[in-house]
Structure 1
Amino acid sequence: MKTKIVYLFFVLFTLNVSAQTAAENKKVVIRELPVYRDVDVMATYRGGYEVILKQIKDATKNCKRGSFKGKDSTVIIDVLITDKGKVAKVEFVKADVDLCNNEIQKAIEKATQWIPGRIDNKPVNSYLQLTVNLTNNSESGNTLIRRLN
């Protein structure tokens, strides 16, 4: 009986040590990929910017936070598009007002039809700068988006 218990502990100890060794041998490799601002072909949205514009407009239609205070406003947004066409990061570079920034960010992050930028005809990670002009329009609330660059 004692030998069976000793044998069992020995087997369990050996399995534990081999599992730890296997875990140590698996190294996580983190690869940093370059991100470009100057590319041969800029990232675009399938269907054109009018499609992403409509998505932003729909997302901000019912937004009631903030106000324009009677003025037009410009929001400049940096969007990092991966070489796979996914949105990796959304940063607000300039926002005259804090109106619906979360809704605008969520609408851009949900957008899945990005075509990545290209250098030498190869897709690369690149930044795209969007300019959204907001106008104070009393008929449709505070969030009418006039133009998207």
Structure 2
Amino acid sequence: MTGITATRPDRRSLPPVRPAHVLVLGLAVLAVVLVLRLLVPLLEGPGRVDQIVVSNPTDYEVSVRVGEAGRDSRTPMGTVDAHEEVTVERVVDQGDAWVFTFTAQGRAAGELERTRDQLEADGWQIVIPSTVGDQLEAEGVPVPEPPPTTTG
């Protein structure tokens, strides 16, 4: 026979497999698996809450931000129209103490602190306090005109 398949290396010319080599290779693979198992959770990012429902009983369109108590940073959640309710999905988990801040027409309008336990007990729903609307009204912030209704 001719060609590449005609020649096979003699088994005696191959280096012998030593148990120590197999052990070292096995330990190396195990070490890589353990390192990956430790690193993957770090790459997943923060935990999230499936959804939070925000109700706005005020006459103002209110922007809502959320953050962890004791920290200055806040993450925007969205804007809730006057007398409306919005469901915000996949909100970053703020831990045990949450702070919701409210603004309208560029003005700070108050905040609401809730513990994780309170939020869970309330079914992950918050109501913008009526004091937010009261504060805006006291500061002379005009109430927006309602959108025109269309007749069909």
Higher relative contact order, structure no. (Cα contacts within 8 Å, ≥ 6 residues apart): 1
* Structure having the higher Rg: 2
TM-score over 0.5 (shorter chain) = no
TM-score, normalising length: structure 1:
0.29
TM-score (norm 2): 0.29
